[in-house]
Amino acid sequence: MIRLEDLRGLVPEAPSAEVTVWIERRWLRAERAPDGAWVLTEMDVARVRLLTELRVTLEVTEEAMPVVLSLIDQLYDARRTVRALLGALEEQPDPVRQTVLAAARARSCAERGEA
């Protein structure tokens, strides 16, 4: 568990005044330690890096952040789902894999309006 005060060493460019706002808005899912302090997992630290890149490097405004963040998270939701499906497909016998792949190709061709 990583405390907020350790964050300065891990992500020096993170705007420390803003981090608690991120937590309140649930952009960052920190949890309370028994003593009431916010603690972060390693994944949360990576999230801080993402939020810092958006807010500091790319200068995304506070008003635009919910939309940008929601879109990024939706993208990764979709990528996780696709990965899980591909992983499940990988474990299937070859004829099943070929059938599913052929059907998926036919579908994506049809959606692009190809014959």
Provide the binding-site residues for another protein, judged by CB under 8 A: 10-11, 25-27, 29, 42-50, 53-54, 58, 65-74, 76-77, 79-81, 83-84
44, amino acid identity: D
8, amino acid identity: R
> Measured from the CB of residue 29, what is the shortest distance to another protein in angstroms?
6
101 to 81, 91, 95: CA distances (angstroms)? 16, 14, 10
33 or 64: whose CB is closer to another protein?
Answer: 64
> Measured from the CB of residue 100, what is the shortest distance to another protein in angstroms?
12
43 or 114: whose CB is closer to another protein?
Answer: 43
Kindly provide the b/e burial profile for residues 77-86, where b requires at least 16 CB atoms within 10 angstroms of the residue's own CB: eeeeeeeeee
> Measured from the CB of residue 37, what is the shortest distance to another protein in angstroms?
18
87 or 114: whose CB is closer to another protein?
Answer: 87
Cβ–Cβ < 8 Å for 61, 67:
no
